[in-house]
Amino acid sequence: MLMALLCVSQVCLAQGPDRSNPPKAGPPAQLRLAPIQHLKLSNGVPVLLLEKHDVPLVQVEVVIRGGSVMDPREKAGRASMTADMLTEGAGARNALELADAIDYLGAQLSASASMHTTTVNLFTPLSKLDSALALMADVVMRPTFPNDELERNRKERLTSLLQWRDEARALASVESDRTLFGDDHPYGVNPMGSEKTLRGLSVEDLKEFHRQYYQANNTTVIAVGDVKAVSVLPKLEKVFGAWKTGQIPSVVIAEPKQVTERSVVLVDKPGAAQSEIRIGRIGAPRLTDDYYAIVVMNTILGGSFTSRLNNNLREQHGYTYGAGSYFDFRNLPGPFLAYSAVQTAVTDKALIEFMKELNAILEPVPETEVDRAKNYVALSFPGDFQTVGQIAHQLVQLVAYNLPDDYFNNFVGRILAVTKKDVERVAKKYIDPTTIAIIVCGDRAQIETGVRAMNLGPMKVLTVEDVLGKAPVVGEK
């Protein structure tokens, strides 16, 4: 018997593994999150709870329905400045005392504003949850907005604006938003603000924004981690239960207007080592029925390392370290952008390849390419749900877009259900190389002749000052 086993073993070793073909991947696993529990505080604040008992950690996120789209043009930057100032002094603590208290607990506490929401994030050991929540409540409900900290933050932002003048990437990003949406739409305005609006922001402006939008009836609390409803709800009630409700201002935002022609904007950045390219148009809102098909289509076009754009411009031609595309899904249609930073000498050649791929995606897509894209999205999706912070961040989507509780558990199945016809349909619907804005930021002296020779459309040449205004003097008030 022993000899027989030895003979079989020797035969197997002699044959070796079959490496003539890659091993077949199994079907993508479906994500299975724990049930989302819907709780409520005595003042009506909704609480979303997802238990995760692997480690004694907790992530709490307070989501406020107020962001940069609520800023009047003359106060651009107000929402994001308000968020930045929340941790610069709250309750009885100044900025340093608050930072020390958070560090002492081994916790992390931060706040940020997006287009439509502001989120305050707390990550803490379970053993320090009570003390950490007390600090979080001060930050959310009782910020002090000290004037000296506002001046420091103002100088930091003005310094950033000054630095952006030397960064082609920043110039291209600011101008692409303005070109696509226009100065009169909130999506076209820099949410950080301009020199003029930043200098005009006062402590009272921030307090007013806080009074208007940081209300109990405009908020949802998300808790993820090693807690149960019976234990965490009283803790949340203790710190947020007295939060008052109020009348929330109604802000109506117009639907963005689609690009109507193909045109070129050249932002002159003398001496730029590379040319930053943005090619875009208005995309789709987050709640479109085309969402899953768009995700798969864009994965093929520019949403992965093996996408067509990256393979063409990086792997085949060596014009860039990376190229891609994305749809920025928002409450209203956000931008679709194809992008890259390419060597100055090949700016026109890179644009040729961009246009080639944007036209090619409108042609029939091979079934194998569709399957590969679906598997890429499906297989990578569970990786976004490994930590309490990742899960809480994902749950913010449910709040921001009123998605159903089973959205995440059904995501993989819906991606895998996308068909070749779906991909081809949404490509034709959302990608139109004849009505598209092309923004190139680079050294005009070296790239203008080549770009003009392509006859892509009417060209407008801008300076750095046209995009960002005059260089701010940071020391001035």
pLDDT reading at 364 higher than 80: yes
Q: In which domain, by residue range, is 162 found?
A: 37-240
124-159 residues labelled b (16+ CB within 10 A) or e (exposed): bbbebbeebbebbbbbbbebbbeeebbeebbbebbe
388-401 vs 407-416: helix axis angle to the nearest 10? 80
Question: What's the predicted TM-score (pTM) here?
Answer: 0.91
Shared domain check, 311 and 388: yes
- pLDDT digits 0-9 by tens, 39-49: 999 999 999 99
Shared domain check, 284 and 230: no
Counting other chains too, the contacts that 450-455 makes at CB distance below 8 Å and 24 or more residues apart are 450/347, 450/348, 450/349, 451/264, 451/266, 451/347, 451/348, 451/351, 453/348, 454/348, 454/351, 454/352
Cβ-contact 89, 95 below 8 angstroms: yes
First-last CA distance in the chain: 91
Rounded Cα distance, 295 and 286, in Å: 11
* Residue finishing a domain among 209, 240, 271: 240
Shared domain check, 312 and 221: no
Tell me if 21 is assigned to some domain: no
Shared domain check, 119 and 176: yes
Identify the pLDDT of residue 12: 53
Identify the pLDDT of residue 438: 98
pLDDT reading at 6 higher than 60: no
- pLDDT digits 0-9 by tens, 63-93: 999 999 999 999 999 999 999 999 999 999 9
- pLDDT digits 0-9 by tens, 254-298: 999 999 999 999 999 999 999 999 999 999 999 999 999 999 999
Shared domain check, 419 and 369: yes
Shared domain check, 295 and 228: no
> Burial, 370: exposed, middle or buried (Cβ in 10 Å; 0-12, 13-18, 19+)?
buried
In degrees to the nearest 10, what's the CA dihedral of 272, 337, 404, 225? -20
Cβ-contact 111, 86 below 8 angstroms: yes
Tell me if 254 is assigned to some domain: no
pLDDT reading at 13 higher than 70: no
pLDDT reading at 29 higher than 80: no
Tell me if 8 is assigned to some domain: no
Tell me if 320 is assigned to some domain: yes
Strand partners, 325: 338
- pLDDT digits 0-9 by tens, 206-217: 999 999 999 999
Tell me if 55 is assigned to some domain: yes
> Once rounded to an integer, what is the mean pLDDT over residues 199-205?
97
Identify the pLDDT of residue 458: 97
pLDDT reading at 55 higher than 80: yes
- pLDDT digits 0-9 by tens, 286-339: 999 999 999 999 999 999 999 999 999 999 999 999 999 999 999 999 999 999
Shared domain check, 424 and 334: yes
Shared domain check, 358 and 303: yes
* Residue finishing a domain among 205, 240, 275: 240
Give the closest residue to 123 by CA, choosing from 388, 400, 397, 391: 388
Identify the pLDDT of residue 113: 97
Rounded Cα distance, 446 and 454, in Å: 15
- pLDDT digits 0-9 by tens, 87-130: 999 999 999 999 999 999 999 999 999 999 999 999 999 999 99
Q: Which residues contact 270 (CB under 8 A, 6 or more apart)?
A: 443, 444, 445
Shared domain check, 275 and 177: no
Tell me if 144 is assigned to some domain: yes
Residue showing tokens 């100032």 = 85
Identify the pLDDT of residue 3: 55
> Once rounded to an integer, what is the mean pLDDT over residues 9-17?
57
Domain containing residue 279: CATH number: 3.30.830.10
Cβ-contact 326, 302 below 8 angstroms: yes
Shared domain check, 426 and 353: yes
Return the percentage of the chain with pLDDT > 90, whole number.
91
Tell me if 360 is assigned to some domain: yes
Shared domain check, 374 and 324: yes
Q: What is the mean pLDDT of the chain?
A: 94
Tell me if 32 is assigned to some domain: no
Give the closest residue to 426 by CA, choosing from 299, 263, 312: 299
Residue showing tokens 């994305």 = 326
pLDDT band, residue 30 (cuts 50/70/90): confident
Shared domain check, 317 and 400: yes
Domain count, the chain: 2
* Residue finishing a domain among 225, 240, 255: 240
Rounded Cα distance, 246 and 216, in Å: 8
Return the percentage of the chain with pLDDT > 70, whole number.
95
